[in-house]
Amino acid sequence: MKTLERLSAGQLFMMLYISRMVVNVTYSSYSSDVSSLRYGVTASVIAMVITFLMLIPVYFMIKTNKNRSITDNAYSVFKWLGTAVAVIYGLYFLWILINTISFFDIMVKNVVNPNTSVFILSLAVVGAAVYAAYRGIEALGRASSLIFVIITAALIVLIFSLIPKADILNTEAPAIENSRDIFKMIFNAVAKNSCIPAMAFLLPSTSGNIRRGAVYWVVGVYLSMAVMIFIIVAVLGDYLDTQVFPVYTVTAIASLGVTRRLDGIFLGVWTAGMFVKISLFIHLISLCVKRVFGNKAAKLSIVLSGTVVVFISTAVSGTNGMFNLLFDTKILFWFTLLTGAAVPFILGIINVSRKKYNRL
């Protein structure tokens, strides 16, 4: 793992786009009411505005303290107590990884192919991700550029293959009585903004136009989400209420030319996206460990994180109590709000206050 690594703004936001799309395509009845998707287009627009607002504290914090990452900011402000911030973020990123792999296990086991060895498949994906994380963020950025093109092409193919099967009469206009469902969708979308805490670590080592890249990322994520939701609702209609993974269902319905079903392509593309997200968040955990224990411990944490994630996610996916706790959207919402907005905002305010005090 290199000591100093830099990403271009394009590479960073392509990685973050892939990471968020992995979440979007696994929208499931396990963590939310799929019937709320009927009002997902409206919710996507509102969630996009909230996401823009959530970016402000991170950008504010970085600019008020010499372009430092959040853990460097914390050590600058709180000295050795900054360790607590590194621990909080490390636990958050570990939570996100276990959440992601657990969904992968459940979908492969119950929806895609019951005969597939879920543990072996997860081990293979995480093993590749560990190797990529060890090679460093620059190598992952280059790989993400290619995967981004593949995912974008697959998304376009999927949408155009489903348009002939869509029925506008299956969609519903938002109304006052549907406000509860709209709120659920917004709450769920904001809770899954794990890419914003990631930016608190990665933006200082990113070159290029960050603000423009952030705008493209937010608009791209929520525009893709809105289009995908609209197509799902228009294709499935009332059948939507019975689906566990609606996105996978429409890929099984879709066909293009000689390709009778696109679900196999979907699984391959989704697995590639999983590889990017897992690699990125394992790297983020290593940055937390590095700030507290040094570079050697950070290298070891990459392998250790991958091992822990595979075994815990396998156990969680088969245990109802832990499963329900892990996928509790309320806990995830407040954890994301803490790491993505509250901590950066507090550090930014302290940075400004210290500068004003030093000028007195």
The Cα–Cα gap between 222 and 276 comes to 19
3-class secondary structure per residue, the chain: CCCCCCEEHHHHHHHHHHHHHHHHCCCCCCCCCHHHHHHHHHHHHHHHHHHHHHHHHHHHHHHCCCCCCHHHHHHHHHHHHHHHHHHHHHHHHHHHHHHHHHHHHHHHHHHHCCCCCHHHHHHHHHHHHHHHHHHCHHHHHHHHHHHHHHHHHHHHHHHHHHHHHCCHHHCCCCCHHHHHHHHHHHHHHHHCCCHHHHHHHHHHHEECCHHHHHHHHHHHHHHHHHHHHHHHHHHHHHHHHHCCCHHHHHHHHCCECCECCCHHHHHHHHHHHHHHHHHHHHHHHHHHHHHHHCHHHHHHHHHHHHHHHHHHHHHHCCCHHHHHHHCCHHHHHHHHHHHHHHHHHHHHHHHHHHHHHHHC
* Chain mean position to CA 70: 19
Question: pLDDT truncated to tens, each residue of the chain (360 aa)?
Answer: 444 567 899 999 999 999 998 877 777 656 666 777 888 889 899 999 999 999 999 999 998 987 889 999 999 888 888 899 999 999 999 999 998 888 877 777 766 655 557 778 888 889 999 999 998 888 888 899 999 998 888 888 888 888 888 888 888 777 777 788 888 889 988 999 999 999 999 999 898 899 999 999 999 999 998 988 888 888 888 888 777 778 777 877 776 554 556 666 777 788 888 899 999 999 999 999 999 999 999 999 999 999 999 888 877 766 655 556 666 788 899 999 999 999 999 999 998 988 777 665
How high is the pLDDT of residue 5? 67
pTM: 0.90
Structural fold of domain 10-354: Amino acid/polyamine transporter I (1.20.1740)
The Cα–Cα gap between 126 and 309 comes to 8
How high is the pLDDT of residue 1? 41
Taking CA atoms, 104 is separated from 35, 254, 267, 279, 313, in Å, by: 22, 21, 10, 15, 9
Largest Cα–Cα distance of the chain, in whole Å? 74
The Cα–Cα gap between 336 and 313 comes to 20
Structural tokens at position 301: 């944490």
Torsional class of 174: left (φ above 0), alpha (ψ -120 to 50), beta (otherwise):
beta
Taking CA atoms, 333 is separated from 5, 92, 284, in Å, by: 31, 11, 20
How high is the pLDDT of residue 260? 56
In sequence order, what are the residues at sequence separation of 6 or more whose Cβ sits closer than 8 angstroms to the Cβ of residue 274?
22, 100, 101, 104, 125, 129
Residue type, 59: Y
Structural tokens at position 245: 């993974």
Per-domain boundaries in the chain: 10-354
**Sign of the CA dihedral with 132 first, then 133, 134, and 137 last:** positive
